[in-house]
Structure 1
Amino acid sequence: MSKVAIITGASSGIGAATAELFHAEGYKVVLAGRNKDRLTAAASNLHDAITWAGDLTSSKACNELIEFTLSHYGRVDVLINCAGVIHRYTAEETTDEHWENTMAVNLNAPFFLSRSAIPHMKTSGGVILNIASDWGLQGGQLAAAYCASKGGLVLMTKAMALDHAKENIRVNAICPGDVDTPMLKVESEQRGMDYQTAMIQNNADSPTGRITLPAEVAALCLYLASDAAAQITGTAIPIDGGNTA
C-alpha cells in the first residue's frame, strides 16, 4: 500500500518540489495551502494527487485537513510543514501584525497540524518534518520575529520527537539557508533590493558560492521520511551551504 504524505505550502517553492519528488517516489500526496488555483496548477502534472485549500493558522482548519486526508486515503504517514512567511524588520520596526502573522504561519500551524496528525500515526508509525531555517539555529539581522518563530519550531520539534519516539513517530527539523523560492523574492523586496541584485549577494555570501535549490531540500525530506533514516529523530539539520559551519 502506498504511503500518504501531506505537504503544506505546496503551491510553490520547497513545498511544490517536495510534493513532486514524493509523488515520483510512489507516495500518495496531498498538496495543502491557501490558494486553490495555485495548488491546482502545482498538482496538474501529478497524477491522482489531491489538493486542499484553507488557512492552516486555524486549528479547526488543521483538523479538517487531516480528516480530509483520512477520508481519501485512510491514513497519514508523513506530514511536511513547509509553509512559511518572513517579515524583514528589527524588533523596533516589527508591528503586532507582523509578529502575529509570523508566529501563526511558522509556529502555530505546524503545531496544530502535528497535534491533529499524531493520533493517526500511532498505529503504523509516521514522520513529521518541519521546515525551519538556519536562522532557527543562529540569529539573523532584520528578522527578529522570523528567528523567534523558527527557533521555537526547532525546539518544538525536539520536544515532540522525545514525546513520541516510543510510538514509532519520528520528528525532525530541516534548516535551510537561502533557497531560490518566491519567498526569497518577497524578502528581497522587503530589503529594498531587486531580485537579481539580491541573488548575486546571496550567492556570494554562501561558502559554497550558491544558494540552495528547492529540489535539494526535497531530497533531504525524502531521505528523512525513509526507513534509511529510522534512527534519526529530534534533529535540526542545516542545508545551507555551510552558513552554520
Structure 2
Amino acid sequence: MKSIIITGASSGIGRATAEEFLNAGWRVGLIARRQDRLQEIAQNWHNAVPMSGDVTDAVAMETAFADFVGQAGRLDVLFNNAGLFGDAGPIDEIDLEAFDQVINVNIRGMFICARLAFAHMRRQSPQGGRIINNGSLSAHNPRPGSICYTTSKHAITGMTRSLSLDGRPFDIACGQIDIGNAQTELVDELNARILAKSPDAELMPMMDVQDAARSVKHMADLPPEANVQFMTVMATKMPYIGRG
C-alpha cells in the first residue's frame, strides 16, 4: 500500500485530496489542528491515519511523521498543503503580527514538513519519494491586496526548486501545484470579503475542488523517473492570464 501525508487535511483542498487518495487505497496520514474533523474523515476509511497537530510545531510534526512512517513502513509522498491567506490590504494597513502569522504557517510550516519528509525519504529503502508543494496562482501573479499571501507563495516556488535540485541524488522528486479558484472555505471567505465591500461585485468563476484533488493524484501517481515540476489548474474563465 502506497503512503502519503497530507497537511491541512481537515478541509478544502486538503480534505478533497485526502479523500481522493483514500478512495484509491493509499494509506493517508491526515495532519491538521482540528482533531474532530480528522476523526470524521477517519471513521469512513480504515486506511486513514489522523494526526492532530500544528505544522509550525516542529516537535509535534517530527512525532507525527515518525509515527506515520512507523505504521506505514515508508513515506512515498508528502502533499505540503497547509496554509492561510491572512489579512488583505495595502502594505501600510497590514499589522506585522498578521504578516508574521502568514509567513509562519505558509513558509516555516511547509519547510518543517518538507524537511521531515526529505529526511525519511532519503533514509528509507528503497530510497526516494515525492514532495508536492501547494503553491498558488499568487506564486506568479498576485491578487490585489494580497501582499502577505503572495510573498509567502513566491517563497514556496523557491523552496520547490531547491528541493528538486537537492533531492536528485536521493531520488526525491519535488513539484508544485498552483491552484486557482477551487470551491473551498478559503475562497468562500475571500468572496465574502469582496461582497462585504461591494454587494454587487461579480465573483470570479470557480471549479470543483475535486478537480484540484485529481490533479494532485496525477502528480503522485507518476513513476519515479517522471515529475510534474509545476502544474497550474484553475477555473477556465478566471482572470489569471493578464490579471493584476
Same fold judged by TM-score > 0.5?
yes
TM-aligned CA deviation for residue 142 of structure 1: 0.8
SS at match of 2:91: coil
Query: Which residue of structure 1 lines up, in the alignment, with residue 66 of structure 2?
Result: 67
Alpha-carbon separation, structure 2, partners of 1:197 and 1:150: 30
Query: Which residue of structure 1 lines up, in the alignment, with residue 107 of structure 2?
Result: 107
RMSD across aligned C-alpha pairs, in angstroms?
2.1
Alpha-carbon separation, structure 2, partners of 1:197 and 1:176: 26
Tell me which of 228, 231, 235 is aligned to 1:241: 235
1:159 partnered with 2:186 = no
Q: Is the CA contact 1:238–1:244 (under 8 Å) kept in the aligned structure 2?
A: no
Change (3 A) 1:26 1:146: same
Residue-pair matches, total: 235
Tell me which of 175, 179, 185 is aligned to 2:178: 175
Alpha-carbon separation, structure 2, partners of 1:115 and 1:228: 22
Alignment of 1:124-163 (within 5 A): 124=126, 125-163=128-166
Change (3 A) 1:197 1:97: farther
Alpha-carbon separation, structure 1, partners of 2:162 and 2:207: 28
Alignment of 1:192-211 (within 5 A): 192-193=195-196, 201-203=203-205, 211=206
Alpha-carbon separation, structure 2, partners of 1:82 and 1:212: 18
Q: Is the CA contact 1:12–1:42 (under 8 Å) kept in the aligned structure 2?
A: no
Alpha-carbon separation, structure 2, partners of 1:153 and 1:106: 8
Q: Mind listing any 5+ residue stretches in structure 1 that lack a counterpart?
A: 204-210
Measured against aligned partners, the alpha-carbon deviations of 1:125-175 in whole angstroms (never above 9, x if no partner) come to 111111110001122211001000011001110111011123111111100
Change (3 A) 1:160 1:238: same
TM-aligned CA deviation for residue 192 of structure 1: 5.0
Q: Is the CA contact 1:62–1:112 (under 8 Å) kept in the aligned structure 2?
A: yes
Q: Is the CA contact 2:8–2:83 (under 8 Å) kept in the aligned structure 1?
A: yes
SS at match of 1:170: strand
Superposition TM-score, scaled by structure 2 size: 0.89
Query: Which residue of structure 2 lines up, in the alignment, with residue 16 of structure 1?
Result: 15
Query: Which residue of structure 2 lines up, in the alignment, with residue 207 of structure 1?
Result: none
Measured against aligned partners, the alpha-carbon deviations of 1:67-90 in whole angstroms (never above 9, x if no partner) come to 121222221111001111012222
TM-aligned CA deviation for residue 100 of structure 1: 1.0
Alignment of 1:91-102 (within 5 A): 91-102=91-102
Write out the 4+ residue segments of structure 1 that deviate beyond 6 Å after TM superposition: none
Q: Is the CA contact 1:10–1:31 (under 8 Å) kept in the aligned structure 2?
A: yes
TM-aligned CA deviation for residue 57 of structure 1: 1.0
Identity %: 29
Q: Is the CA contact 2:6–2:79 (under 8 Å) kept in the aligned structure 1?
A: yes
Tell me which of 216, 227, 232 is aligned to 2:211: 216
SS at match of 2:50: strand
TM-aligned CA deviation for residue 7 of structure 1: 0.5
Q: Is the CA contact 2:173–2:224 (under 8 Å) kept in the aligned structure 1?
A: no
Alpha-carbon separation, structure 2, partners of 1:68 and 1:186: 34
Change (3 A) 1:244 1:202: closer
Q: Mind listing any 5+ residue stretches in structure 2 that lack a counterpart?
A: none
Q: Is the CA contact 1:176–1:212 (under 8 Å) kept in the aligned structure 2?
A: no
Measured against aligned partners, the alpha-carbon deviations of 1:186-228 in whole angstroms (never above 9, x if no partner) come to 223344539x977x5111xxxxxxx222211111111111135
Q: Is the CA contact 1:3–1:77 (under 8 Å) kept in the aligned structure 2?
A: yes
Alignment of 1:36-47 (within 5 A): 36-47=35-46
Alpha-carbon separation, structure 2, partners of 1:16 and 1:237: 19
SS at match of 2:6: strand
SS at match of 1:117: helix
Q: Is the CA contact 1:62–1:109 (under 8 Å) kept in the aligned structure 2?
A: no
Alpha-carbon separation, structure 2, partners of 1:109 and 1:58: 8
SS at match of 1:166: helix
